[in-house]
A and B are shown apart, each in its own frame.
Chain A
Amino acid sequence: KAGVTQTPRYLIKTRGQQVTLSCSPISGHRSVSWYQQTPGQGLQFLFEYFSETQRNKGNFPGRFSGRQFSNSRSEMNVSTLELGDSALYLCASSTLGQGNYGYTFGSGTRLTVV
């Protein structure tokens, strides 16, 4: 079966712009989580959506937002981009979420803010 698909793979944006990243989970998976990964901070949890509802949220400013659609696809948006937002953004899906069963990750979107 198809894996987790993230688009685009690479993105270059200018400081102050906004960006929208997309994630299509594995068919049947209702939980989608988003992570930011940087060399210095490791994997940082952004938020988790389950059946179109945000179930958990990490410690990120309000510039970071997300949503999930009825088909479980998810998008995350970052407004007013800062240089420090440059990172690999990873999406992970699972059947029920809440960690216990492990996650399947996409290949990520590499965002560079210049």
Chain B
Amino acid sequence: KQEVTQIPAALSVPEGENLVLNCSFTDSAIYNLQWFRQDPGKGLTSLLLIQSSQREQTSGRLNASLDKSSGRSTLYIAASQPGDSATYLCAVADKLIFGTGTRLQVFP
């Protein structure tokens, strides 16, 4: 059974830091991996989707990498801002199996 783990569970950093969020999965036979952002009391917003044949995707200050052989993905956030404060979730597909998320706080 696929299991998805996210470390750390919570992270608090000062504004401007570059940071890395980690996601690991137990079964490397995934279809794709998606990173989401969730603000308190809100739905999920898709950030990046990496197909199983890809190694990374970039969008603005975000870069996500995928290493299927080791069962890992990382989300890199450059020059963090207070507006980046949210919970970040990774999920592996095709029927999404979610990690429990990393709660990020960026303080001024």
B partners with A: no
**Residues of A bordering B, CB below 8 Å:** none
